[in-house]
A = this chain, B = another copy of it.
Amino acid sequence: MVDLGLIDRADDRPPYRQIAAALRRLIAAGRLPPGEKLPSETELIAHYGVARMTVRRALQELRGEGLVVAEHGKGVFVRSSPPVRRLASDRFARAHRKQGKAAFLAEAEVSGHKAAVDQISVTTERASAEVAERLGLGGDGRVVMRSRRYLANGVPVETAVSYVPESIAAGTAIASLDTGPGGIYARIEEQGHQLGRFTEEVTARMPTPEERKALEIGAGVPVITLVRTAFDLDDVPVEVCETVKVSHAFVLEYDFPAR
């Protein structure tokens, strides 16, 4: 059993915070490594000599921080993190596409992860107001919508939905399940829209229940949302991609001139 310490009634912090702090320290120090089971509520109650609610408040604080995950009927476990993936802003370089690699897979190769894609679905529908605006489409603009989920080493890390104007996607592999070598962007360039620049809008928030399910994360784990718009050399928007990433699995890197 790990060293849990004791509650100091003279401490100005309430007992539940002291218990949370003790557990947090053990996790940070690696004495409770990822995947390890914490002492059960019953054990913590006996050790600290407090009521169950007090122990539960401490555990709840750690859950809120995303440090631990409770599994009903099994116990409370230290959360194991997926590998961190650094996304550099040159990850869409044409050189990668020329080699037949989509961005996610090319990046995974550099990072040494085993990348996979699943839950692919492709439909054609009317663009939402927001997507239509970003793509510069009229009121009834139709788009091919591709959604999929990315996994690193078998762990879900990101969901993505791409929207390409039907005028560009129609009759190409963009509208089929397999987009072919180089991915969507290679197909778009083949349609005569050579890519010129990207914009990305990044923010973070707590996931919706649906996102928690798709990404297999507990409450208390934030997500990064990234909306990328691709423009061709005439500055015409040719794709919008909305992604939701598990926050602790990504570091986004950007490099820009001082101007």
**B-contacting residues of A (Cβ < 8 Å)?**
53, 61, 64-66, 89-90, 92-94, 195-206, 219-224, 230, 247-248, 250-259
Contact = CB atoms under 8 A, between A and B. Distances in A.
Contacts of A258: 92-94, 195-198, 230
A131 B254 CA distance: 18
A120 to B, nearest CB: 24
B220 A206 contact: yes
A90 B259 CA distance: 8
Contact of A224 (B203, B221, B230, B255): B203
Nearest to A218: B64
A252 B203 contact: yes
B203 A247 contact: yes
A68 B244 CA distance: 23
Nearest to A189: B258
A219 B219 CA distance: 12
B251 A202 contact: yes
A197 B255 contact: yes
Contacts of A204: 204, 222-224, 247
Contact of A257 (B196, B200, B250): B196
B222 A253 contact: no
A199 B255 CA distance: 4
Contacts of A219: 61, 64-65
